[in-house]
Amino acid sequence: MKKTLAAASAAALLAGGCALPVHQDSAANAPAAVSQSALHSAAHWNGLARDVAQRLSARLAPQTALFVNQHADASAFDRAFSTQLITALLEAGHPVLRTPAGALRVGVDTQVKPGVDATGALEVIVSTSVTDSSQFIARETGVFRADAADEALYLAAPQARSKSFQIVGGE
């Protein structure tokens, strides 16, 4: 019986060792993968705006007046997300003003970087902040996946460069 138990134990250890994944590249030393939400459509952007509005609203007094900063050189994502965020904040019961006077400011910052895996996907970091004139009141940051083909949607419009020259002399 001892031989049978010993043989069964040895077989279990060998089988268990075979079940472990073998990594043959540097990914074995990488941190564990984190599940990321994907931003594949405007509907995903809208869902993100609603989630952010709910989270920010939970940290603000009811009926807190807000002003959402919108920049002329914003990316397509930033413009759509800001518009969707205004709707979601209104639905959460916050007055959203058209001018910043008398309101807390809501700002959206988007950063894009290449993903860490071999799929070619992008990582989009979206930070939404509520501030007054001197401090952050609330902040939400999330990291999302996006297709590399959609990179232009997340990049700010290039700013026109101009240079002025003074012309001296002449007729």
Instruction: Examine the pLDDT at 32 and tell me if it is beyond 90.
Output: no
Q: How many CA atoms lie within 13 A of 104 on its CB side?
A: 24
The answer to whether the beta carbons of residues 128 and 170 sit under 8 Å apart is: no
Indicate the class that CATH gives domain 35-154.
Answer: alpha beta
pLDDT of residue 169: 72
Within 10 A of 16 (CB to CB), how many other CB atoms are there? 9
Which residues lie closer than 8 Å to 129 by C-beta, 6 or more apart?
106, 107, 109, 136, 138, 139
Q: Is residue 154 over pLDDT 60?
A: yes
SS3 86: helix
Compute the distance between CA of residue 109 and CA of residue 78 in angstroms, rounded to an integer: 8
Mean pLDDT of 148-158: 81
d(CA 46, CA 41): 9
- How far, in Å, CA of 154 to CA of 76, rounded? 6
Return the SS3 of 110: strand
What is the predicted pLDDT for the residue at 55?
A: 94
71-109 pLDDT tens trace = 888 888 899 999 999 999 999 999 999 999 999 999 999
Please, what is the average pLDDT of the chain?
Answer: 78
pLDDT at 105: 98
Q: What's the pLDDT band for 117 if we cut at 50, 70, 90?
A: confident
User: Could you give the C-alpha distances from 68 to 22, 91, 104, 123, 127, in angstroms and in order?
Assistant: 49, 15, 9, 24, 13
pLDDT of residue 37: 67
Cα–Cα dist 107/128, whole Å: 6
Supply 5's token pair. 């138990």
Distance, in Å, from the CA atom of 65 to the CA atom of 87, rounded to the nearest integer, reads 14
Which one is predicted more confidently, 33 or 44?
44
